[in-house]
Every structure is written in structure tokens, then in C-alpha cells.
Amino acid sequence: MANELRFDGRVAIVTGAGQGLGRSHALLLASRGAKVVVNDLGGSSTGGGKSSEAADKVVAEIKAAGGEAVANYDSVEEGAKIVQAALDHFKRVDIVINNAGILRDTSFHKMSEQDWELIYRVHLLGAFRVTHAAWPHMREAGYGRVLFTSSAAGIYGNFGQANYSMAKLGLVGFARTLAAEGSKKNILVNVIAPIAGSRLTETILPKEVTEALKPEYVSPLVAVLAHESCQENGGLFEVGGGFMAKLRWQRTEGVSFKLGRNVTPDLVQGSWQRITDFEKATYPEDVTSAMQPVMDNLGSKSRGG
């Protein structure tokens, strides 16, 4: 196809690319010309063990299809080594897809500090270390496309996933700040919250659903966000099973109590309907727009209360 999105000359790091979503992203980018660092620790879905097999297999698949890739087996907790692999083999890094992940699901009262800590280390600290190591090279080049992998569990909360939800929504705030900091150097940062059949979901979803939710339905959106033509920045997208949509924050019109007035709990309770009514919702996009009603109130432009 004449106008297909190509990645010739671009170098992509895909973490956790030995299987599931990461493998699918790596195969797609490589099939369109990107040189890919296929990172995977090769451990279990709960973070135990390690093996070179998963990453090697995907590299072999990419090469068999005529693409270029190199395997890396470091944990994302050692993100600088993964970025170094890109520099050693391909001399640059243009795209970082933070995808590696594990689960330590259990209800909160049974959750150990280790369960909490490990999820934090792989999802958040790992994404920090990989991105932080790549960042100066992208700034220097004046180009970068960075993706983070969040989850509906982070956005909405999910029973048995307090640790995972913490990390996954943490990535959204992290990404939005990087989006603000990176844009002047043409480094754009976006987040996906995917749903796909993989070893992480095969225990919770029925077999036929797991099989239908192919990771290949997620990767095309990843490719668009990773492409040089992409102008989207700081976005959060739900994607899976053929569905793709963008999310944003919504806030009620709210109530501004006149300054100087004695704001009692009873007054707040009495205003509850107006505090929680989404009828006249707004969509603050940054800290400045979020602060606007507060600033208006300070300027005594109270809407009453």
C-alpha cells in the first residue's frame, strides 16, 4: 500500500515483547521497517524466574519475516541496559513502548507489602527507568514517541488489584507530565489501556473471549501513536477487541462558596446535589484549567453557595 505508515530508520524499544501485547507491537513495528529491541525478562506472570527464550523467539520471528531486531533479557528495573542495547545495536532510540508487566492479584486484606512493592517496581519504576534512560537521547535528537501501558483496573479500580491499579493509574499521571515536558522537543507521550487475551487474562476471562481478544487488535493504535505523523500528546486510549476510544477527565460544574462565609459540613451536605451533578460538566485538561474556578472564586466571582 502506497500510503501505509512506515517506520524505516526508526529504532523502537518494546519492553515485555516476548509474548502477548508486546510481541504483537514488536512484530507490527518491525514489519513496517522499525529496528526493534525485543526486551523480555522471560519470567512467570507473577514475576518469578527468567529466561531468554521468549525474546529470542520473537526476534527469530521478526528476522524470518525479513525484519531487524535484537533481543534483550534485562528486567525493566534495569532500564538503562535496555536503552544501551538499542544504542549499541542501532545507534539511536526513537520509540519506547513501555509494556512489560506482571500481576500479583489478591484482595487488599491479604495483600503483602511484597505484592505491592513488586508491582510498583515492574510497572512504574521499570517504566521510569527505561524512559528516563531514553529521554536524554530523544531530547538530543529532537524526536521521540513514548507509550505507557495502563489498564482499566487503574482507571476504574478492580477487585483484587489494589497494587496493579495504583501502578497503572500512576502511569497516567507520569505520562501526562512527560507529555507537557517533552512536547517542545517533539517527544510525544501517550497511554493505552488495552484489553487482550494473554496469560494475564486467560485466568479471568472465558477461553473463547481470550481467544477473540487478539493482541493484534491493539497494536495498530500503538503504531499510530508511535508514528512520526502522530500529533496526539498526553492522550489516554482504551483499546481492544476492535474497539478504540479516547478518555478524559470530567468534572461537575461544582459549587463555589462565597469567601468569608462560614462553610460548615451542613452547608456542604446541603449542596451535595450541585457538587455531584454532571449536568453542566466541564473537561479540565491541565492544572491551569483545573484551577480556574478556584481563581474565579478568589476573584469573588462566586456562582453562589
Give me the residues that bind ligand NAD (CB under 6 A), please. Answer: 15-16, 18-22, 39-43, 45, 54, 75-77, 99-102, 122, 126, 149, 151, 194-196, 198-201
Distance CA 59, CA 41 (A): 14
Among 73, 143, 156, 164, the one annotated catalytic: 164
Q: Which is nearer to ligand NAD, 163 or 198 (CB)?
A: 198
- For 90, the enclosing helix (H) or strand (E) is helix 79-90
Q: Where are the beta strands (DSSP E) in the chain?
A: 11-14, 35-39, 68-72, 95-98, 144-149, 187-194, 236-240, 243-247
Beta carbon nearer to ligand NAD, 138 or 167: 167
Give the three-state DSSP class for 13: strand
**Least gap, CB of 36 to ligand NAD (angstroms):** 14
User: How near is the Cβ of 289 to ligand NAD at its closest, in Å?
Assistant: 29
Nearer to ligand NAD, 151 or 163 (CB): 151
Q: How far is the CB of 251 from ligand NAD (least distance, A)?
A: 26
Can you list the pairs that 176-180 forms with residues at least 24 positions away whose Cβ atoms lie under 8 Å? Answer: 176/234, 178/131, 178/146, 179/233, 179/234, 180/234, 180/286
Nearer to ligand NAD by Cβ, of 126 and 293: the residue is 126
State the nearest-atom distance from the C-beta of 197 to ligand NAD, in Å.
7
Phi, psi of 68 (to 5 degrees): -120, 130
Written in H, E and C, the secondary structure of 18-34 is CCHHHHHHHHHHHHCCC
Q: Which is nearer to ligand NAD, 101 or 144 (CB)?
A: 101
143 versus 148: smaller Cβ distance to ligand NAD: 148
CB 98 within 8 A of CB 76: yes
Distance CA 182, CA 267 (A): 43
Q: How far is the CB of 221 from ligand NAD (least distance, A)?
A: 13
- Decide: 226 and 250 in contact? Cβ < 8 Å: no
Would the CA dihedral through 161, 80, 99, 151 be positive or negative?
positive
Q: How far is the CB of 260 from ligand NAD (least distance, A)?
A: 48
Question: Distance (Å, rounded) from C-alpha 238 to C-alpha 152?
Answer: 8
Based on the residue annotation, tell me whether 217 is a catalytic residue of this protein.
no
In 3-state terms, what secondary structure has residue 290? helix
Catalytic residue numbers, as ranges: 164
